[in-house]
Structures are given as C-alpha cells and as structure tokens.
Amino acid sequence: MRKILLLSLIVLVVAFYSGLSNLGVAIAQKDDIVFKTFVHDPRAPGKPVPVSNCTVTTNDQVSDFGLAGWYMPSAGMDYQINFGTKPKNLSESQVSAAIQSSFNTWTAADPKQKFNYAGTTTTKAAKFDGTNAILWKGITRGALAITYAWYYTTTGELVEADTVFNRNYKWDLTDISAGDCGGTTGDYDVQNIATHEFGHWVGLDDLYSSADKDLTMYGYGETKELKKDSLGLGDISGVNAIAP
C-alpha cells in the first residue's frame, strides 16, 4: 500500500482578540502516516480589536504563493455537505450555492481543478473515512475554519480533504457586488472564507506577509470581508503552478 501523508489542520486564522500567540507546529508519526498540526496567532500583526478590520483591496497583483505539497486527482474531488450543522440563519440552498461558487472560483482559474457535489453527509467531524466533508463544528476560537488534507507521499496526489467551519462565530452571506467590505457587520462570510479554505484543497498554502493581505490565500480573515471571493494574481499563479 502506498504511503499516505496525513496533513491536518491547515488553519485559516481570524484577525481577532482571543487565542494563541505564536505559530506552533507539532509532528507525530505512526507507522507510515505522518500527522502535522499548524496553530497560528488569530490576530493579524498590529491589528486592534474593533468589530472589523476589513480593508478594501489596494493591490491584489502581488505574485506570491505557497505550495502545500499535493495536487488534486485528475477526476477531481467529490464533496459532501452536512447541512445539519449549518448556521440556522442560512438555508441549505444558500450554503450549497456559496460552497459551489467557492469551488468554481478555483476551477475558473485552472480547469484542472474539478469539484463534484456528491450529496449530503451526516459526519460531524473531520476524519479519514473516504468522505470529503464540509461542515460546521465548535472548534478552537483561534481558528475560523480548518482544512484537513490526506495525500500520498509517493505521488503527491490528494486522497481526501475535509473542511470544518467554526460554529462559535457568526456566519452570513453577501453577494460580492457589495464590495470588498460589504458583508454583514460582526459576521464572517461563508463564501469568502470557503474560497480560501478550498485553496488548500487544490494544493496552496497560507500566506502571512502583509504584502499579501489582498490575496485569497492570506491567512487571516475579517468580519464583513468579501474580497477573498475573487482571486488575486498570486492565487491564480499558484494554482496554475501545481503539478501535474
């Protein structure tokens, strides 16, 4: 059996006032499976604690990107949504449309990235079980959402991915036409954060330089923020640089 690398807890952190203060990396190995966790400071450098620190885009033409180390299979990834865990203020159709739009953003940038809706799931936690699950769950307040990815060390092909949104925060949906910071006051936008998380599915890593703050793969998120719905130059360059 081919060796499988378990890369877990790629965290989109939130520019917020609670949580951990330093980047932490833990690595545990059992047999041929390697487990990694990445824990990041939930507050962007120099940011105070107002309702929102969302800023409009000033330069999304920065060419920076980071590769996580895997690529999607040529057939794409089938994904399932646990609607039983969704925010109560959002309908199933709203959540489904937002998730699909987030995936479509990456497919539009690189047609090799294919995502197929495979119906609902009842799974309530991320686990290596053959289901690419998307759900809400109470997780550490140091993270808005966590993406878990399993891939073959021999080939670099992604085997499975799960994304868990933190239900300890308030979520909503606003059309991107409202502008970069046109979302609901005090709420995080599902499509905005999902587009970042699904960048991990395609094989991109987080960025933390302040120069990258207008890119989708910037590792901090804000309330009212919508600008991650669309990709910047580095995001597009990165997804097209992933091999094969």
Mean pLDDT of all residues in 84-100: 98
Q: Which two tokens stand for residue 103?
A: 């995936």
Looking at residue 101, its pLDDT comes to: 98
Quote the CA–CA distance of 198 and 187 in Å, as a whole number: 20
Backbone angles phi, psi at 180, to 5 degrees: -55, -35
Quote the CA–CA distance of 103 and 171 in Å, as a whole number: 18
Residue 7: which pLDDT band, with cuts at 50, 70 and 90? very low
> Do 218 and 233 form a contact (C-beta atoms < 8 A)?
no
Quote the CA–CA distance of 187 and 51 in Å, as a whole number: 9
In CATH terms, 4-41+62-237 corresponds, of 3.30.460.10, 3.40.390.10, 3.40.50.970, 3.90.1150.10, to: 3.40.390.10
pLDDT greater at residue 219 or residue 2: 219
Mean pLDDT of all residues in 85-97: 98
Mean pLDDT of all residues in 110-134: 95
Looking at residue 53, its pLDDT comes to: 82
pLDDT greater at residue 53 or residue 72: 72
Residue type, 191: Q
> Do 14 and 144 form a contact (C-beta atoms < 8 A)?
yes
Q: What is the SS3 assignment for 12?
A: strand
- Residue 6: beta bridge partners? 35, 150
- Residue 7: beta bridge partners? 36, 149
Mean pLDDT of all residues in 218-235: 95
